[in-house]
Structure 1
């Protein structure tokens, strides 16, 4: 099974489009300002570049992913991925009021599953049920 956030993808894509559009419009209008400052083509290119960088930053929120099979779980959050075998996982939980699900580990540690978000509602519930089913099958 593989889970990725859904609603965040739509929001991030919208912000990315807005960033690029706004900075492109600003870049086009940059040479036509009566401020007395002389903007060059390189300034216009830099404005579009800033828009692209901001758009990529917005799209970074679509990066989280959780993949699970009989052997374990691969959790990819914002800053990297980690593979956890089912034998190291105590439980799969979604605490009340939490934004993200998590894998409970021994010694009161846990790993946040940023791909399973409360705003995805029913998709998050299905993902938790599937993860719990895989966990139960693996550990018994």
Structure 2
């Protein structure tokens, strides 16, 4: 159950870029797959080769769309970070800080014993959105401790 103080964050620019790339990959591989046929070099592409080319385009597009997966959900109790492949849930008491080191691509959750988890949903390329997001997470962290 979400409340008014819950925060859900997703990257902005990478989602647009990933979708555009995925559509582009599908279009290019479909066109190439459909245009494959007999060539002047004597190579003969069969229907299965054409289908494989199109399927490869969809597989590559799916891989690119994994970049749209990062998300952060935070509330008064804790924070859940979902990156491209992994997900983690932490209570605020287990979190030392939320930082955004100079030159870093994304924010990170500082944990005890010099460990950290990258927060790929808060990316430097999103500029003002990233600043606002880190501030919101820090406020929840402060309130939750």
Q: Secondary structure at the match of 1:116?
A: strand
**Structure with the higher fraction of residues in helix conformation:** 1
Segments of 5+ residues of structure 2 without an aligned counterpart are 1-6
The equivalences for 1:11-22 within 5 A come to: 11-22=17-28
Q: 8 Å contact 2:38–2:44 — kept in the other structure? A: no
1:124: Cα distance to partner?
0.6
Deviating beyond 2 angstroms after TM superposition, the runs of 4 or more aligned structure 1 residues are 32-35
**Deviation string, structure 1 residues 80-122 (Cα, Å, up to 9, x no partner):** 1110100000111111111110111111111110110000011
Aligned residues: 139
Look up the match of 1:85: 91
Structure 2 residue aligned with 1:44: 50
Question: Which of the numbers 50, 63, 82 marks the counterpart of 1:76?
Answer: 82
Give TM-score scaled by structure 1 length: 0.95
1:131 maps to 137
Is this contact kept in 1: 2:110–2:117, CA < 8 A?
A: yes
Q: CA deviation at 1:47?
A: 0.4
